[in-house]
Structure formats: structure tokens, C-alpha cells
Amino acid sequence: MNPNLFSYIWQHSKREQIYILILIVAALPFYWLSLDVPKRIVNEALQGEAFIEGRTTAKLFEISFGLPGFLGGGTLTIFEGADFNQIEYLLALSFLFLFFVLVNGAFRYKINIDKGILAERMLRRLRFDLFSRLMRFRPEDIRQVKPAEAATMINNEVEPIGGFIGDAFVWPAFLGTQALTALLFIMVQSFWLGLVAMAIVLVQAFIIPALRRKQLEYARQRQIAARQLAGRIGEMVDGAPLIHCHGTAGYSEAEVSGRLARLFKIRVALYNRKYAVKYLNTLLSQITPFFFYAIGGYFALTGSLDIGQLVAVINAYKDLPPPVKELIDWDQRRADVTIKYQQVISQFSVGKLLPATKDATDIEVPDDAPLRFDGVRVVDQRGSLLLDTVTTTIERPSHVAIVGPPGSGREVMMRLLGRQITDFEGKLRLGTYDMLSLNSTDASMLMAYATPEPILFPGPLRDNVAFSLQRSVPPPLKPATAEERTDLIEARRSGNPLVTSDADWTDYNAAGVAAPEELDRALLDALTKVDLGATIYEFGLLGTLPNDTDETLLQRFVDARQSVRDYLSRENLLCVIEPFAPERFNRNASLGKNLVFGVAAGERLSARGLAGDRFFRSIIEAEGLTKPLTEIGFNIARTTIEIFAGLPPGHPLFERYALIQSSELDDFAEIIEKAEARDAGIRLSRLDHDRLIGLALQYSEPRHRLSLIDPALEQRVLRARKSFIRHLPQNYADEIEFYHPERFIHAAAIRDNLLFGRVAYGMANAERKVADVLKQALGDLGLIETVYRLGLDYDVGPGGKLLFAPQRSAVNLARCLVRNPAILIVDGGLSDFSAKEVETIVGNLHEVMRGKTLIMAFPDHAHAKGFDRVIEFDGVRISDYGLSGTAQQVSDKALEPEE
């Protein structure tokens, strides 16, 4: 990226900048005229200079040009103008003045809007350029980048730069030309007054910035001193027991007092400087009229300046200091922003970048082209050896295990294969291609690298697995609407890609499918290979069918209820199902679901909205449930805070077991504090009550086990349920789907729909047994595929936190498998799996990668079975090349001439 901010701006916004500069120049004549008209008002209309020699009318708006001699001389009149009496003349000139004021305002508006859009466009470009550059960092460089810092730089730190970009050229040009026009105008009226104005402007332009520099230095000192004081106070609060214990309070107070004194001095110096600058500024702007009145008045009285000119000069001077002041401010912003830009750019400047091209090139790598390590040696930045010289060839296709303890050369070799290390000695080739010369897209066409740590993005499981397929660049769409057209134009103008992520980027060929509707099957196959099939099925049972699902399919699920009951009955499992029955409290459903006996179909009666709904509140109020529900909510909140407060935000246990989200923890802590301080006269607000009741409504005794529901409460809930159903207003009809044995409940989970009830918690292996029976039933009824597909909709949460560690690792592997790579490199990442799971997965990988190349890393030999070759590491050296013969022979073989 261009290291100079102004060059960067000019390079990418030349046309727009020139356009705005033309507007600025075009505005100048109107500005000049707006300064000139007041003079004419005073001289010609008020003092009557246009009406001398007894004339009662005067001509205005005449447009004529004097012709040069070679054109015959004389005057060319385009418009003869109109005659006005003195009053009309005054009004006409006043309206003319108003017209110029409006024109000037319109120019200013247009210039501001255009430079604002220009700034936003450039900000978009700058952010995109930085992000794009970040994506081109070599793996070893990007590991050094702190994600939060990079995000802050791209998001926040460039914001003021963006704000300045619009002003970079336009603002000094606009203000400068305005100031110069005003100054020139004054000089034209009176040279000496012009000189006075210029002198004062120069003082403002040079002395005030100099004074301000010191002011900024004081401000910086104040900030540092205040920060140090705060830090020291914090330390003293932490050390208060020590201070009391040793009786050193006086000494500590004296120390703080010393710091306060220093802060005081800085602040006083700052105020002195600040108000001195302010005083000088004000003085300069107020003293100038003195010169104008005194000197200009003298000239007027002596006849070398007329009154109109004097008024015009004073009027023009009014417009002079603000642009000068703003120019000074602009210069300060320029200095700040230039430094910021350089800082940001320096963070994004690294020695080497990956190739910029993302498009696949026409490389052709034969299926049997081997991977050759030719004298590959890796040292870290401090010169420590990470991988001793490796010269070997991995034949293709073959299955190779690389074994070595954590921290050994095994990890480095795997990262080399995965192209995660690019800074090494020697050559690493795939056939005749240098691995480093391949761009990411080309490399990804051939190989897939499963990172040791799974990386998941929030969103559906489907998107996470299919992420590896999002590399088929779709053609730019033809814009169908005006908005799409504008989006496309803006993307082009700001150097952004012309295709959005909403387009279909999926590489269906790589997934081995012909059409988008077949993709889910490919994803499920990949997930099954990594032993996640059963989990996806369970997620599917918890999923809901979309609202636009075909009615026939819904009816099949309703019809399946009876079959499922038969299956459960055969397995003696009906006893573990607690059915939804209008007259029974379902202990395994939440209090909210028990109260409404159904599932919310809209926002109003949703888990969040129900507690605040007026009708619902009137029902629970009538049944005397408001207080007990508030108390239940209070107990839930208190226990949750007690148990989960120590966990970091977004921790998986929090997400999985707590009824409160980690982001709400502080709010509930405040509510609890208020509720406990009721004796002190603090009352909970209506919203606080809503939130506590909202918590209670999600509570289920067997699941959350806080002993908050007793049989009496269950009976009251049942009474409230009856009232709720009986009195439900007509306009609530679409807000809820009641549990009904003959209807599909869209908003309820598939499992609830199939069982028409809930599996009882606390029964030995009940959930698993029921899930197995359901699987059998769904398989026989031909509905199992739908459930698996629903499982792909499961939201994995931020960073995949809603999945357990082995599930995250499995998704990471499935993501590589789904694009059927010719070379699969699995860099460990199996430690979260149980031994049996590892055995299954490795077996499946051997099967899937038959006839292709599979390279897997293991910490020991326990699972390195079934491989054609096992390379073993001892520290940074290969201790066993896994070939018959010596390492030297291997080396010789590797160094044979290439094809």
C-alpha cells in the first residue's frame, strides 16, 4: 500500500477530487458577487449614487460587453436591463444578494455532500485494502497479529482517517480560495486595509499554531499524569491492608498529594496557554474592525474610499477568520491523521506477502507427482533449529503417518506440508511445482490441511462444513434493481469485489455433486466419516422445520406419531415419555410451555416476549402467579450468577447450561442487588419483573434442578393454562401453536412433534434409547434424511462454543473431506477424541482416501496403523524414515533428477 496518505488518496480518488475542485472554483464568482452586492446596496441604492443628476430611475441587470477594436469597437448588449426607482432598486439588489447567498449555500451543500461520499468510498476502500492485505500475510506473519488489534485498526483506527480523506484536498482548496477571495476583495476595495487584514491573518496562521503546539504538549502530559495517578490509586487500594497494617497511610497520602500537585501544575499551565490562545484569537478578530473603522473611516472621510466599500470590506472580513481558523485545524488534523495512517500501514507492512491472485491457474499436477523435501530445514527467528535437514520423497498415492511427540519436528513438517510455514531453507516440491509458488486456490484444489486447532465461525453447521467449498468465484450478477445497480457501482468505485458473499460461491465439482440440492448429502457423508453422524441426527431432532415446508411432509410427521408410539411400546419405553396432555403438568417441559400449553409462533409470546405481554401477565396475575414466578426468576438469577460468574464470557458451559446469557449477567446482578436492597427503599421496575419472570418461564425442574417447583405451584399453573386458553384474544390466534395430537407444531422441535411429549430426565439412558428407537422409526418411515438435513442447521455458536471439543475437531476434518482432496493432511487435532473414536476416524480416512494421499500426524504409534509408511521424529530430526534402507538411500532417491 502507498505509504503516503495523500498519494494514496490522490491515486484512488483523482477524478472525484478534481470534480469537487471544479465545483469550488465555479463557486468563487458567486462568492465574489455576494461580497460585491452589499457595496452596491450602500453606494447605489442607499446613498443614491445611481440616482444622481435628478434621475428618478436607474438601470439594473444590464448585460453588455465592450468589443475590441478589430471587431469594430462599440458595445454588445445582450440584455438591456430594467429601470427601477430607488426603493425598487434597493429591493432588487437585496433580492440579488439573497440569490447569491442561496447559490453559495447550494454550492457549499453540494461540495459537502460530495466530499462526504468521497470520504466514505475511500474509507471502504482503505478498510478493504487492509483486510485484503491481511489475508495475504504469510502464515507465520499472521500468527504474530493479534486478532483484536487488527480488527480495531481496520474498524476504529481508520475511521478518523476516513473522515479526513474527504477533506484532504477539498477542504484546504475550499477554505483557501474563500479566504483568498475575501482578501483579494478587500485589497481591491482598499490596498492598505487589505494589507492590515493580511497581516492579521498571517499572525493567526503562524503564531496561533505555534502556541497551540505547546498546549497539545500540556494536554498530553496531563493525560499521562492522570493515568499514572489512577494506576497508583488502584495499587494503593489493592495494598490498603498493607498500608493499614504498617501504619503508612500518611506516607501514602503524601505520595498521592505529590502526584496531585504535579497534575495541578500541568493543568494550570494548560489553562494559561489555552486561554492565552483564545484571548489572542478573539483579540485579533475584534481588533481588526478597529483598524477598519479608524483607517477605513479616515479614508472614507478623506474621499479615497467610499462608504459602500468600507461596509463591503467589513462584511468581507467577517468571512476571513473562520476559514483561516479552519485551515489551522485542518493542518492539525492532517498531522494527526498522517501519523495514524503511517502507524496503521506499518502494522500491515510485512516483508513478504502471498501472491495476490486468487483465481485458479492452469497448473497440472499428475496424480502420482510426489511430494519432495529437498534439504528442507527450518529455524525460528532466534535461530533455534525447529526442523533439521529433511530430504525425502513422499510418493503419491500413499498413506503416511508422521509420528513424534508434541514440540518435535513432526509439528513443523506437518505445517510445512500444510503450507503454514513459508520461511525455510531448501525446496519443497509437489511434482515439478515449488509449493511456495502455488497460490492458495491452486493449492486448495489439490490438498486439504486440517489444522490442529479447529476454527469454527458462528452460524449453522452446514455453513461451517461447506466453508471449504466457497472458492468458486461466481460471475458478477446483472443488477436487477436500482439498489443493486448502485451497490455494484459503489463496489467498483471503492475497489471492492463486484460479487457479494450472497452469490453462490460453492464449488460443487469439488464436493462431487451436480446440483445444490445434492450438497447436503455430501456434507452429511463427510460428517458421518468423522463419526459425527449420530450427533447430527440428535441436532436434527432438536431442530424445527421451516415455515414453508410442504404440507404433505408435515402430515407424514404427524402420522409418524402413532408409529413412534408403537415402536416405543415394543421397547417398553413409553414409560419414559411424558406426553403433552391438556390436564397434566409436564414436568419435563418449561414453566412457560406449561402455562401456554403450546409453542410461540411469533415474537409476542416467545421466551423473551411472553413475560412482558399484557394479556399473559393479566392471566398469571389473576392466578396469583406473578409473585412466585418472580421469586423463581430471582432464585435462578442468583444461582446462575453464583455458579457462572467466574467463567469467561461465552464459555461453553455457560452457553449450554445457564438460562442467562453471559452478556446479561451484569444486568441480572444489578436486579439481584436491587431486589436484596428492597428494605432500603429500592424497588424493582416493571422491566426487572419481566426479566425475572422471563427466566422462570424457561425453567424446568428435572433439567435445571434448583428445587423451585412444588405440586401446589403445578396446580396453579394448570389453572392459569385453562384461563389462558379460554380467554386468548382473537388477535393472538397466530401467536401460538397449541399442542394438538392431530396437528404438526411448526415452532416445536421435531422430537417433540414425533413423541408428542418429552423424554423424562433422570431415567437411565432414556434419551439415548428413545433416540435410537426414533431413528429406527424414522428410517422405516423414510423421514430420517429430513432430520439429518435439519441437523445441519444447528447453530454452532461463537467459535463453535455450542459444540464439544471433539465435535469441533470433527467438523474441522469434515470440512477438508467434503472437497475430496487428492492430498489430505491431518495435523493432529485428534487428542479430543476418545481412543475408540480415533480408531474409527482413522479407519474411515484410510477408506475414503484409498488411491489418494493421506498424511496424518500422531504423538505416538498407538493409532499409526494401516499406513504405507511411518516417519518418526526424535526431537527436530527424523529418526526413522519408514523405508527399507538407510536415510542416505532415501536422500539419494530424493535427489534423482526430476521429470
Partner 1 sequence: MGIDSDCAALQKISMFQNVDPKNLKLFAISGQRVRYEAGDAICRQGEPSEAIYVILEGTVDLIRETPHGKVRLDQVTEGNMVGAIGILCDHARKVTVEAAGPVTVLQVDRNAFYEIARDVPQLSLAIARELARRLEIMNDKFAAYSEA
For position 705 contacting partner 1 by CB under 8 A, the verdict is yes
Taking the C-alpha atoms of residue 588 and residue 699, their distance in angstroms, rounded to an integer, is 10
CB nearer to partner 1: give 173 or 706: 706
State the minimum distance, in angstroms, from the CB of residue 234 to partner 1: 26
* The three three-digit cell numbers of residue 604, written as one number: 409476542
**Contact letters for partner 1, residues 164-183 (x by CB under 8 A):** --------------------
Taking the C-alpha atoms of residue 312 and residue 68, their distance in angstroms, rounded to an integer, is 32
The helix (H) or strand (E) run that includes residue 377 is strand 371-379
- Among 575, 561, 586, 493, smallest CA distance to 769 is for 575
The helix (H) or strand (E) run that includes residue 816 is helix 805-817
Q: Which long-range contacts (CB under 8 A, 24 or more apart) does 596-600 make?
A: 596/721, 596/724, 596/736, 596/738, 597/721, 597/724, 597/725, 597/738, 597/739, 598/736, 598/737, 598/738, 598/739, 598/745, 599/736, 599/737, 599/739, 599/745, 599/747, 599/748, 600/735, 600/736, 600/747
CB nearer to partner 1: give 304 or 831: 831
State the minimum distance, in angstroms, from the CB of residue 529 to partner 1: 19
Q: Which residue has the cell 529433511?
A: 390
For position 662 contacting partner 1 by CB under 8 A, the verdict is no
- Among 125, 126, 135, 150, smallest CA distance to 356 is for 135
Is there a contact between 388 and 877 (Cβ–Cβ < 8 Å)?
yes
CB nearer to partner 1: give 592 or 806: 806
| Binding to partner 1 in span 836-895, by CB under 8 A | 836
For position 657 contacting partner 1 by CB under 8 A, the verdict is yes
CB nearer to partner 1: give 372 or 704: 704
Stretch touching partner 1 by CB under 8 A, among 21-29, 74-82, 254-262, 701-709: 701-709
**Contact letters for partner 1, residues 817-846 (x by CB under 8 A):** ---------------x-xxx----------
CB nearer to partner 1: give 575 or 687: 575
State the minimum distance, in angstroms, from the CB of residue 527 to partner 1: 17
**Contact letters for partner 1, residues 736-775 (x by CB under 8 A):** -------------------------xxxx-----------
CB nearer to partner 1: give 279 or 657: 657
State the minimum distance, in angstroms, from the CB of residue 836 to partner 1: 5
CB nearer to partner 1: give 576 or 736: 576
Stretch touching partner 1 by CB under 8 A, among 227-235, 365-373, 672-680, 698-706: 698-706
| Binding to partner 1 in span 592-651, by CB under 8 A | 639, 642-647, 651
| Binding to partner 1 in span 379-408, by CB under 8 A | none
Q: How far is CA 129 from CA 10, 13, 133, 619, in A?
A: 15, 15, 6, 58
From the list 75, 144, 707, 730, which residue makes contact with partner 1 (rule: CB under 8 A)? 707
State the minimum distance, in angstroms, from the CB of residue 643 to partner 1: 5
State the minimum distance, in angstroms, from the CB of residue 707 to partner 1: 4
From the list 25, 101, 224, 653, which residue makes contact with partner 1 (rule: CB under 8 A)? 653
Burial bucket for residue 160 (CB in 10 Å: 0-12, 13-18, 19+): middle
State the minimum distance, in angstroms, from the CB of residue 829 to partner 1: 15
Phi, psi of 460 (to 5 degrees): -65, 150
> Quick one: CA torsion of 648, 650, 656, 657, rounded to 10 degrees?
40
State the minimum distance, in angstroms, from the CB of residue 662 to partner 1: 13
Q: DSSP 3-state assignment of 649? A: coil
State the minimum distance, in angstroms, from the CB of residue 768 to partner 1: 10
Taking the C-alpha atoms of residue 81 and residue 88, their distance in angstroms, rounded to an integer, is 14
State the minimum distance, in angstroms, from the CB of residue 858 to partner 1: 14
CB nearer to partner 1: give 27 or 796: 796
State the minimum distance, in angstroms, from the CB of residue 764 to partner 1: 5
* The three three-digit cell numbers of residue 840, written as one number: 474409527
Please give the size of the binding site for partner 1, defined by CB under 8 A. 30
Is there a contact between 803 and 811 (Cβ–Cβ < 8 Å)?
yes
Q: CB under 8 Å to 179, separation ≥6 — which residues?
A: 201, 319, 320, 323, 324, 327
**Contact letters for partner 1, residues 502-521 (x by CB under 8 A):** --------------------
Taking the C-alpha atoms of residue 387 and residue 551, their distance in angstroms, rounded to an integer, is 62
CB nearer to partner 1: give 106 or 653: 653
State the minimum distance, in angstroms, from the CB of residue 754 to partner 1: 22
State the minimum distance, in angstroms, from the CB of residue 805 to partner 1: 7
Q: Is the peptide bond before 29 cis (omega within 30 degrees of 0)?
A: no
CB nearer to partner 1: give 635 or 753: 635
Total residues found in the chain within this entry: 899
CB nearer to partner 1: give 474 or 762: 762
From the list 746, 804, 852, 893, which residue makes contact with partner 1 (rule: CB under 8 A)? 804
State the minimum distance, in angstroms, from the CB of residue 533 to partner 1: 16
- Among 108, 566, 41, 496, smallest CA distance to 312 is for 41
Taking the C-alpha atoms of residue 180 and residue 168, their distance in angstroms, rounded to an integer, is 19
From the list 160, 426, 652, 797, which residue makes contact with partner 1 (rule: CB under 8 A)? 652
CB nearer to partner 1: give 190 or 535: 535
* The three three-digit cell numbers of residue 414, written as one number: 506437518
Helical H segments across 136-190, by residue range: 139-142, 147-152, 159-165, 170-189
Tell me which amino acid residue 154 is.
I
Q: Which residues of 403-441 are buried (b: 16+ CB within 10 A; e: fewer)?
A: bbeeebbbbbbbbbbbbbbbebebebbbbebebbebbbb
Stretch touching partner 1 by CB under 8 A, among 233-241, 302-310, 501-509, 801-809: 801-809
CB nearer to partner 1: give 56 or 707: 707
State the minimum distance, in angstroms, from the CB of residue 632 to partner 1: 12
Taking the C-alpha atoms of residue 112 and residue 131, their distance in angstroms, rounded to an integer, is 28
Name the β-bridge partners of 392.
Answer: 373
For position 575 contacting partner 1 by CB under 8 A, the verdict is no
Q: Which residue has the cell 396437528?
A: 743
* The three three-digit cell numbers of residue 328, written as one number: 489551522
State the minimum distance, in angstroms, from the CB of residue 151 to partner 1: 25
State the minimum distance, in angstroms, from the CB of residue 655 to partner 1: 11
For position 805 contacting partner 1 by CB under 8 A, the verdict is yes
* The three three-digit cell numbers of residue 643, written as one number: 455458579
Q: Which residue has the cell 485542518?
A: 330
* The three three-digit cell numbers of residue 815, written as one number: 470440512
CB nearer to partner 1: give 762 or 779: 762
Side by side, the strands of the sheet bearing 877-880 are: 447-450, 823-826, 853-858, 399-403, 869-874, 877-880
CB nearer to partner 1: give 762 or 866: 762
From the list 360, 534, 706, 725, which residue makes contact with partner 1 (rule: CB under 8 A)? 706
CB nearer to partner 1: give 18 or 862: 862
CB nearer to partner 1: give 599 or 665: 665
Binding site for partner 1 (CB under 8 A): 639, 642-647, 651-653, 656-657, 701, 704-708, 761-764, 804-807, 832, 834-836
